């Protein structure tokens, strides 16, 4: 029997019944037939970008599933009810795991064999019984490790998904791990499943937790920066700088600053503010595109004063200043443009402008604008 267990988690994974190709050689206990599993070559979990040693090093931090799992007091009742239910399922011994994993494998083989037989074949009832035993073994392996999912999901609380949602996503990872588990490797189910549970939860957090979705690689970068920041905070006794974080991770300070910026969470403008929550966040945010009432009033008064001063000049001088400084439409003109309008040279416009400004500086005129300078 040739069997490759596990594949790269980033690639789509076919269901077992889609992977198995039967050609006769493995005895399922039914007389008269044998089957052999030949699985297309795929990268093994122990040969992927995340080596087994590294995965096991991370897994060492995850406690074995306990009969009781303590939760924060603020945990909702549905979570406690769920924990009571899964707490009634006894844990498995190593021998029981091997036995159930073997039954699951035989069930997968039988399911693949059934797909190639016609209903009514002599082997059909025996194969159906083997499939049923395999399905029961799969469920037993999953149920016995549900507490492991909770222990891992608790570490992701506060990242945008509720604990129940995290547990649900982790359960998907557990189910994937059970299907791919190969007991001949010599590892426990919990050791192998931990990586898949973490992967499923972290993907869900990346896809669902944020208003603006971040790519998975950026989520990983954010997590690395936050871990390094917490480590340096403990060592230095203060918040680390982007330079210090970059030195810890081998990144440029500009890259660290970018990662920290994109990691910020979006806040709704309708978020209640205050103890009585009688105000909204939008009430305290300045609209920089609009003019404040006081500034608008002052601007209108200033326009009036400037108009009075300009009216004391000659028509041509007033027009030159209005065009040069964009007093009418907000678009200042060059000396060349103003000269073309009046049909004179740019030097002549410069002389008219200088003369008009000297007149504006006369105390009889400038005192009206003194309060605005």
DSSP assignment of 98-152: HHHHHHHHHHHHHHHHHTTS-TT-TTHHHHHHHHHHHHHHHHHHHHTTHHHHHHH
Residue 211: Cβ within 10 Å count: 9
Residue 101 lies in a domain: yes
Instruction: Tell me the C-alpha distance between 50 and 43, whole Å.
Output: 11
Q: What is the pTM of this model?
A: 0.52
**In angstroms, what CA-CA distances link 372 with 295, 297, 305, 307?**
12, 13, 10, 14
- According to the model, what pLDDT value does residue 70 have? 53
107, 238: one domain: no
189, 307: one domain: no
Sign of CA dihedral 103, 104, 107, 112: negative
63, 200: one domain: yes
Residue 261 lies in a domain: yes
Contact 122, 82 (CB under 8 A): no
Q: Which of 237, 264, 284 is the last residue of a domain?
A: 284
Residue 8 lies in a domain: no
Range of the domain at 248: 216-284
173, 45: one domain: yes
CATH of the domain at 99: 1.20.120.1810
DSSP at 27 = -
47, 91: one domain: yes
258, 299: one domain: no
**In angstroms, what CA-CA distances link 301 with 152, 265, 326, 356, 369?**
66, 43, 18, 22, 10
34, 166: one domain: yes
237, 255: one domain: yes
- According to the model, what pLDDT value does residue 276 have? 78
Ranges of residues in the chain whose predicted pLDDT is under 70: 1-76, 291, 370-373
Instruction: Tell me the C-alpha distance between 156 and 162, whole Å.
Output: 9
Instruction: Tell me the C-alpha distance between 255 and 51, whole Å.
Output: 27
In 3D space, the residue among 64, 66, 51, 39 whose CA is nearest the CA of residue 8 turns out to be: 51
Residue 2 lies in a domain: no
40, 143: one domain: yes
Contact 126, 30 (CB under 8 A): yes
**In degrees to the nearest 10, what's the CA dihedral of 269, 270, 272, 278?**
120
156: Cα separation from own chain's centroid: 12
Residue 6 lies in a domain: no
Determine the straight-line distance between the first and last CA of the chain, rounded to whole angstroms. 91
Q: Which of 208, 241, 266 is the last residue of a domain?
A: 208
- According to the model, what pLDDT value does residue 193 have? 94
- According to the model, what pLDDT value does residue 373 have? 56
Instruction: Tell me the C-alpha distance between 201 and 287, whole Å.
Output: 39
52, 93: one domain: yes
Instruction: Tell me the C-alpha distance between 310 and 317, whole Å.
Output: 8
Q: Which of 284, 310, 344 is the last residue of a domain?
A: 284
Instruction: Tell me the C-alpha distance between 353 and 359, whole Å.
Output: 10
- According to the model, what pLDDT value does residue 367 have? 75
Residue 3 lies in a domain: no
Domain count, the chain: 3
Residue-wise over 123-133: b if at least 16 C-beta within 10 A, else e? beebbeebbeb
Residue 9 lies in a domain: no
Tokens matching residue 255 = 């890259």
Residue 60 lies in a domain: yes
Instruction: Tell me the C-alpha distance between 143 and 138, whole Å.
Output: 9
31, 166: one domain: yes
CATH of the domain at 329: 1.10.10.10
Tokens matching residue 322 = 């209005």
279, 310: one domain: no
């Amino acid at each position: 029997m040739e069997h490759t267990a596990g594949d790269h988690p980033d690639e789509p994974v076919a269901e077992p019944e889609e992977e198995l190709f039967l050609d006769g050689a493995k005895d399922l206990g039914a007389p008269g037939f044998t089957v052999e599993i030949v699985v297309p070559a795929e990268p093994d979990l122990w040969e992927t970008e995340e080596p087994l040693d590294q995965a096991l090093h991370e897994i060492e931090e995850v406690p074995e599933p306990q009969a009781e799992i303590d939760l924060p007091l603020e945990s909702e009742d549905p979570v406690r009810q769920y924990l009571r239910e899964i707490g009634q399922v006894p844990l498995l011994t190593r021998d029981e795991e091997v036995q159930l994993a073997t039954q699951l494998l035989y069930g997968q083989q039988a399911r693949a064999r059934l797909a190639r037989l016609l209903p009514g074949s002599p082997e059909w009832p025996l194969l159906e019984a083997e499939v049923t035993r395999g399905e029961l073994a799969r469920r037993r392996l999953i149920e016995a490790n549900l507490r492991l999912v909770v222990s891992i999901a608790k570490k992701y609380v506060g990242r945008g998904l509720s604990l129940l949602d995290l547990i649900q996503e982790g359960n998907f990872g557990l189910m994937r791990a059970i299907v791919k588990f190969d007991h001949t490797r010599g590892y426990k189910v919990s050791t192998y499943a931990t990586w898949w549970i973490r992967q499923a939860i972290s993907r869900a957090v990346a896809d669902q937790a944020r208003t603006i979705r971040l790519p998975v690689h950026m989520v990983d970068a954010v997590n690395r920066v936050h871990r390094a920041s917490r480590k340096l905070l403990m060592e230095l006794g203060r918040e680390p700088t982007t330079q210090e974080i970059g030195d810890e991770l081998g990144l440029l300070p500009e890259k660290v600053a970018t990662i920290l910026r994109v990691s910020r969470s979006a806040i709704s403008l309708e978020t209640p503010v205050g103890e009585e929550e009688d105000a909204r966040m939008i009430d305290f945010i300045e609209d920089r595109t609009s003019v404040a009432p006081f500034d608008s009033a002052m601007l209108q008064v200033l326009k009036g004063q400037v108009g009075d001063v300009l009216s004391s000049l000659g028509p041509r001088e007033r027009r030159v200043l209005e065009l040069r400084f964009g007093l009418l439409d907000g678009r200042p003109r060059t000396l060349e443009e103003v000269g073309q309008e009046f049909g004179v040279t740019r030097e002549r416009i410069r002389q008219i402008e200088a003369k008009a400004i000297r007149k504006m500086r006369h105390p009889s005129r400038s005192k009206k604008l003194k309060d605005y300078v």
